[in-house]
Amino acid sequence: MGKKRIIKKTEEELLKEKEEVDAAVKKEVKTETAVRKGIKEGKIYISSSYNNTVITLTDLKGNALGWASAGQIGFKGTKKATPFAASKVAEAISQTVKKLGIEKVAVLVKGIGSGRESAIRSLAARGFDIVSITDLTPVPHNGCRPPKVRRV
């Protein structure tokens, strides 16, 4: 079978691996500081498109504390855009909210996907004190410039 060779990592690879571990630890410390600070209020941004639903949890300043999407949970393809997937995403983010100890939540909805209402209903069913629900969907006020007239 021949000699068995032991692959030794170079210094560059070791440094790169150490940086990745440090970044992971730093991310963990960030969530722990949020718990230690005792954040009681937060904002939940629901971005619902035709293809996916993404929910982000932030503090009042806008610093992201956690996020979840239908793709992250395990839905693939067209199933990511369903209301059922959106409710599962809301359940996942509600666990993060409870872990951080946030009591009051302002919900901001953006997009035209089918998961908007089901995500809000799922959050409300979890027993959070929803302070406000705001729609941030961009609305075109005059649309694009039409193409020039075709001359034959």
Does 18 fall in a domain? no
User: Looking at the domain assignment, is residue 22 inside a domain?
Assistant: no
Domain count, the chain: 1
Instruction: Give the domain extent around 68.
Output: 39-135
Asked whether residue 147 is domain-assigned, the answer is no
| Phi, then psi, of 130 in degrees rounded to 5 | -85, 115
> H-helix or E-strand containing 71?
helix 70-73
Write out the chain's pLDDT in tens, 152 residues: 667 777 777 788 878 888 888 887 777 666 555 555 678 899 999 999 999 999 999 999 999 999 999 999 999 999 999 999 999 999 999 999 999 999 999 999 999 989 999 999 999 999 889 999 999 999 888 888 989 999 98
- Report the distance separating Cα 68 and Cα 91, nearest Å: 10
Contact 143, 112 (CB under 8 A): no
53, part of any domain: yes
CATH number at residue 131: 3.30.420.80
Beta strand 104-110 with 64-69: parallel, antiparallel or unpaired? unpaired
Cα gap 29→23, rounded to integer Å: 10
| Residue 49 falls in which region: left (phi positive, over 0), alpha (psi -120 to 50) or beta | beta
Token pair for 137: 């969907």
Strand partners, 46: 55, 109
Which pLDDT belongs to residue 135? 95
141 domain residue, yes or no: no
| pLDDT, tens digit (0-9, with 9 covering 90-100), for 25-50 | 777 666 555 555 678 899 999 999 99
Please state whether the predicted TM-score (pTM) of the whole model is above 0.75.
no
